């Protein structure tokens, strides 16, 4: 996995932050581990939802235009949106404001489904995190969130992470990737990288109308597309057998008959 695949742990020492009043929720920048985090206040901290976006936008511009900036040009920014509801237009505005300040929006972290969909639709890498803070050990290896539906083509350079099943109504282009704790279902062509059962559930599947991936993973099992592409494509499903990942026609597949490898 990439080192930037999750929100960094709180630093052991005091991180470099922009001073701010403690009485009012603020947009904050924080340097951590050579990265720049852009933290938005939780929606529960905003008492005037009608003006929430206007307030956030004004604060962001003040931070970017202020004289107390501590970051270097071309630094990657990780937007920690928490439970903030942001649409594609707002995310694009944030990205453009960062670009003007010579910063690059690298990834969006959110616990809101709508924000995750908006980020993916806008072409941003996104990780939807479960709002559950503490999991029962018995749930490890199982999908813990409702499916994430994305009605767009996943473009090259975009990575989508979700603690449940990911359903894409569109293509997944080469150079993009989807990482799901549940299944990966693509109503289109899967030509990028896809991982199902990322938390260890080998019963998860990967299905696409055209299965032509760069690489697929299910739990700890890995498979690559054949060097010689087939002459004709049809809906296929990839699943784990005792001999590894197998790919067959969806017409011949039944999840009830999955043969799991011996532990």
Q: 18-70, pLDDT tens digit by residue? A: 444 444 568 999 988 778 999 998 887 655 555 578 888 999 999 898 866 78
Which of 97, 129, 161 is a domain's end point? 129
The answer to whether 107 touches 4, Cβ cutoff 8 Å, is yes
Distance of alpha carbon 258 from alpha carbon 263, whole angstroms: 15
Same domain, 222 and 249: yes
Same domain, 158 and 37: no
∠ CA 154-150-208, rounded to 5°? 70
Can you tell me the mean pLDDT for 74-81? 92
| CATH number for the domain harbouring residue 69 | 3.30.750
The answer to whether 216 touches 198, Cβ cutoff 8 Å, is no
Same domain, 158 and 88: no
Question: Who's near 194: CB < 8 A, 6+ residues apart?
Answer: 172, 177, 178, 180, 184, 186, 206, 213, 215, 216, 217
pTM to 2 decimals? 0.74
The answer to whether 221 touches 202, Cβ cutoff 8 Å, is yes
241 sits in which H/E element: strand 236-241
30 φ/ψ angles, rounded to the nearest 5 degrees: -140, 130
Sheet bearing 244-249, strands edge to edge: 148-150, 166-168, 184-190, 206-211, 236-241, 244-249
Helices and strands per DSSP (H, E), number in the chain: 3, 16
247 sits in which H/E element: strand 244-249
∠ CA 217-222-228, rounded to 5°? 105
Residue 124 pLDDT greater than 70, yes or no: yes
Same domain, 113 and 202: no
Per-residue pLDDT reduced to its tens digit, 189-247: 999 999 999 999 999 999 999 999 999 999 999 998 777 777 788 899 999 999 999 99
The answer to whether 141 touches 199, Cβ cutoff 8 Å, is yes
Number of C-alpha atoms within 13 angstroms, CB side, residue 81?
Answer: 27
Domain span at 80: 1-129
Helix, strand and coil percent figures for the chain, each rounded to 5: 20, 30, 50
Q: How many domains, in total, are found in the chain?
A: 2
Same domain, 8 and 91: yes
Q: 128 or 13: which carries more pLDDT confidence? A: 128
Can you tell me the mean pLDDT for 245-252? 90
Q: 73 or 170: which carries more pLDDT confidence? A: 170
Return the pLDDT at 32.
82
Same domain, 73 and 151: no
Burial-class residue 75 by CB neighbours within 10 Å (0-12, 13-18, 19+): middle
| CATH number for the domain harbouring residue 168 | 2.160.20.70
Can you tell me the mean pLDDT for 97-120? 93
Same domain, 188 and 209: yes
Same domain, 5 and 75: yes
Same domain, 112 and 143: no
Same domain, 140 and 222: yes
Return the pLDDT at 226.
73
- SS (HEC) of 144-192: CCCCEEECCCECCCCEEEECCCEEECCCECCCCEEEECCCEEEEEEECC
Return the pLDDT at 131.
57
Which of 98, 129, 160 is a domain's end point? 129
Same domain, 113 and 151: no
Return the pLDDT at 1.
44
Same domain, 178 and 255: yes
Which of 72, 98, 129 is a domain's end point? 129
Beta bridge partners of 75: 103
């Amino acid at each position: 996995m990439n080192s930037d695949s999750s929100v960094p742990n709180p630093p052991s020492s005091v991180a470099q932050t922009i001073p701010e009043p403690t009485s009012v929720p603020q947009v904050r920048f924080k340097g951590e581990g050579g990265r720049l985090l852009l933290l938005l206040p939780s929606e529960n901290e905003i008492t005037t939802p009608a003006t929430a976006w206007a307030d956030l936008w004004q604060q962001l511009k003040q931070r970017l235009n202020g004289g107390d900036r501590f970051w270097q040009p071309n630094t990657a920014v990780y937007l920690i949106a928490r439970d903030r509801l942001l649409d594609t237009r707002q995310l694009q505005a944030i990205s453009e404001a960062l670009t003007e300040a010579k910063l690059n929006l690298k990834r969006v972290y959110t616990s809101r489904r709508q924000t995750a969909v908006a980020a993916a639709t806008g072409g941003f890498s996104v990780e939807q995190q479960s709002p559950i803070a503490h999991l029962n050990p018995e749930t490890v290896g199982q999908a813990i969130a409702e499916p994430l539906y994305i009605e767009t083509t996943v473009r090259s350079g975009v990575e989508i992470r979700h603690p449940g099943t990911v359903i894409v109504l569109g293509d997944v282009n080469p150079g993009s990737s989807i990482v799901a704790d549940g299944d990966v279902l693509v109503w289109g062509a899967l030509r990028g990288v896809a991982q199902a059962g990322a938390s260890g559930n080998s019963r998860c599947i990967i299905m696409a109308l055209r299965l032509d991936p760069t690489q697929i993973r299910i739990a700890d099992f890995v498979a690559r597309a054949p060097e010689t592409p087939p002459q004709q494509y049809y809906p296929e499903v990839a699943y784990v057998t005792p001999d590894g990942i197998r790919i067959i026609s969806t017409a011949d597949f039944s999840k009830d008959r999955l043969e799991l490898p011996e532990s």
